[in-house]
């Protein structure tokens, strides 16, 4: 019988926003690892005091004018679906609902929105290569996202002749942990691996490490990342060991960690 995967003795840094970290931490505990929670990104929903929120609400009120609506993340899906529900008790017909990644699509399904996602990847490039967005000239497309991030999706769709609007519903903020939190998570006992799911989280980790005695040691630590783009960014920041996961979802990230662990046991 195949033995149960085991990460006993592994101390793994979980860097997801706090409200999204529980699943990853729970699975690590099941595998015998010690999850160490240090959110490297905070998600702050925009409010009516933010000018961008008024623009987003206007787009949602005009939802039936769009041929497609794209949600870039689970946070965009949750906040976007809640806002849509405020103004559209019944979803408008004729819209192509699209999601970046399976977890984003799953979040939308929980609100009754059946969205398609590319099975070939978890980024803008994968969705852009799908049939859903090949012929968009003259079409209006809404992208639901945070107030910052990559513009690849909008720029490529605009180049294909689409008219693209943003509905920005949250901002990403860099946490500022207290010194004792850093001591108990990354400055104290050694880590076995760090799970990074976005480029911004990586940048925030680098910011926390710069100028510290721990920087060199942590740059030797295994970094599990969801894309080649982030892996290259990590190498540029001086990290020496990276493992590429199949995507940013919990299952893919932990599968990559297990694969690395198994390869080191051979």
Q: How far apart are CA 254 and CA 266, in angstroms?
A: 19
Residues 6+ apart with CB under 8 A from 132: 68, 96, 98, 116
Give the pLDDT score at 3: 53
- Considering only CA atoms, which of 110, 111, 104, 174 is closest in space to residue 143? 104
Q: Are 38 and 209 in contact (CB under 8 A)?
A: no
Query: What does CATH list as the number for 44-172?
Result: 3.40.50.10090
Give domain 11-41+175-265's CATH number out of 3.40.50.10090, 1.10.3470.10, 3.40.50.300, 2.102.10.10. 3.40.50.10090
> Are 11-41+175-265 and 44-172 the same fold in CATH?
yes
pLDDT tens for the chain, 266 residues: list them: 445 668 999 999 999 999 999 999 999 999 999 999 999 999 999 999 999 999 999 999 999 999 999 999 999 999 999 999 999 999 999 999 999 988 899 999 999 999 999 877 778 888 888 888 999 999 999 999 998 877 899 999 999 999 999 999 999 999 999 999 999 999 888 999 999 999 999 999 999 988 888 888 899 999 999 999 999 999 999 999 999 999 899 999 999 999 998 887 76
Domains of the chain: which residue ranges?
11-41+175-265, 44-172
Which residue from 138, 167, 146, 143 is spatially nearest to 154, judged by alpha carbons? 143
Q: What pLDDT is stored for residue 4 in this prediction?
A: 61
């Amino acid at each position: 019988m195949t033995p149960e995967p085991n990460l006993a003795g592994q101390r793994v840094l979980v860097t997801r926003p706090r409200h999204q970290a529980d699943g990853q931490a729970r699975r690590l505990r099941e595998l015998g690892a010690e999850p160490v929670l240090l959110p490297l990104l905070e998600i702050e929903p925009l409010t009516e005091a933010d000018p961008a929120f008024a623009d987003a609400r206007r787009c949602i009120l005009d939802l039936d004018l769009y041929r497609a609506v794209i949600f870039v993340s689970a946070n965009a899906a949750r906040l976007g679906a809640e806002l849509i529900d405020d103004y559209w008790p019944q979803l408008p017909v004729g819209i192509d609902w699209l999601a970046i990644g399976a977890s984003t699509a799953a979040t939308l399904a929980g609100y009754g929105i059946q969205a398609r996602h590319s099975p070939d990847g978890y980024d803008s490039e994968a969705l852009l290569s799908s049939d859903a967005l090949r012929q968009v000239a003259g079409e209006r497309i809404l992208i639901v996202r945070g107030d910052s991030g990559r513009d690849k999706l909008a720029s490529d769709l605009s180049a294909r002749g689409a008219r693209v609007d943003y509905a920005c519903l949250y901002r990403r903020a860099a946490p500022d942990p207290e010194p004792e939190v850093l001591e108990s998570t990354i400055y104290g006992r050694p880590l076995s691996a760090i799970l990074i799911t976005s480029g911004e989280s990586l940048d925030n980790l680098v910011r926390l490490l710069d100028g510290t005695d721990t920087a060199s040691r942590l740059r030797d630590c295994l970094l599990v990342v969801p894309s080649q783009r982030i892996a290259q960014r990590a190498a540029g920041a001086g990290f020496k060991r990276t493992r590429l996961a199949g995507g940013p979802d919990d299952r893919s990230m932990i599968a990559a960690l297990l694969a690395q662990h198994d390869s080191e046991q051979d």
